[in-house]
Amino acid sequence: MNKIEQLNNWELKEKDGIKYFQLRLELEKLQCIVITSVGGLSFPSENPELLQDNLKQVQRIFGIKQVNILKQTHSDRSYYMPEDFKFNYSLDGDGLYTDKANIFMGVRIADCLPIFLFNQTKKIIGIVHSGWKGTLQEISKKMILNMRARFNLKPIDISFAFGPSIGQCCYEINSDLAHVFSEFTRARNIRNALIEQDNKSYLNLKLINQKILENTGLRNKGIIDLCSFCEKDLLFSSRRKDVNKRNLAIVGYRE
């Protein structure tokens, strides 16, 4: 497979020397973006000053008024973002959703999966940070329940898309965790999420999250099939020991 085939409805674009992925959508004002490491922007939690500076750069480059992020603790907590929500890095959580325009929400990633959720008719958007812990806690499913209750949505009214994460090729997990995931996927009728090779277990994080959302009734709008560990020139990877380096995934609706 070449890179274009692996992008699945996403495009690799460039602006001011920054390379980023953007999802093709019917509603162009709704924007799902993943900023790559090309261009030198990183969003580490360990360096709040650099994080704030680079968030400001993103606001300038993309002409965005505000980008809100959370502390990210591999939890199952998500929040509705009201208009007056301010950058609140001290708030524990891994998911944000809103019906407000012109305020973008972001998650920082290096191997974990960024999940975009949206309804193009009602202009409702959300973003989730889901690694293996968030996946086992089904954070995305819990946030969807909250979104459905607040906005009166059916599952079919919500679409999803995934940015890049670590691929099964490079995601070795220990036998205890493999056992947990084996039970988890069997209970949900999800197949081929674990591959055993030379006494090692490899996890397909994307596939599990995709099946969870499809089984919930959501529409799949595009999954970037690139591995953050393999794509050294494009993406950060904590397993590759990119210390204090994170990519940023953002979603927002411009009015």
Residues near Zn ion, by CB under 5 A: 167, 169-170, 227, 229-230
CB burial readout 184-204, b (16+ within 10 A) else e = bbeeeebeebbeeeeeebbbb
Separation CA 173–CA 45 (nearest Å): 24
Pick 61 or 230: Cβ nearer Zn ion: 230
Q: Residues in the chain, how many?
A: 255
Angle at 52 between CA 50 and CA 55, to 5 degrees: 105
Q: Compute the least distance from the CB of residue 171 to Zn ion, in Å.
A: 8
d(CA 22, CA 9): 9
Q: What whole-number distance in Å separates Cα of residue 238 and Cα of residue 110?
A: 5
Give min distance, CB of 61 to Zn ion, in A: 29
Closest approach of Cβ 202 to Zn ion, in Å? 10
Of the pair 146, 168, the CB lying nearest Zn ion is at 168
Q: Which is nearer to Zn ion, 78 or 209 (CB)?
A: 209
The whole-angstrom separation of Cα 218 and Cα 145 is 12
Shortest distance, position 241 Cβ to Zn ion, whole Å: 15
Residue given tokens 């990119």 in the structure block: 242
Paired tokens of 63: 């002409």
* Smallest gap from residue 5 Cβ to Zn ion (A): 16
Q: What are phi and psi of 60, to 5 degrees?
A: -70, -50
Task: Tell me how far, at minimum, the Cβ of 134 lies from Zn ion, in Å.
Answer: 20
Confirm if 236 and 37 have CB atoms less than 8 A apart.
yes
Please say which residue, 125 or 227, places its beta carbon nearer to Zn ion: 227
Cβ nearer to Zn ion, comparing 189 with 197: 197
DSSP of 160-172, one letter per residue? EEE--B--TTT-E
> Residues 81, 105: contact at Cβ < 8 Å?
yes
111 within 8 A of 231, measured Cβ to Cβ: no
Shortest distance, position 217 Cβ to Zn ion, whole Å: 30
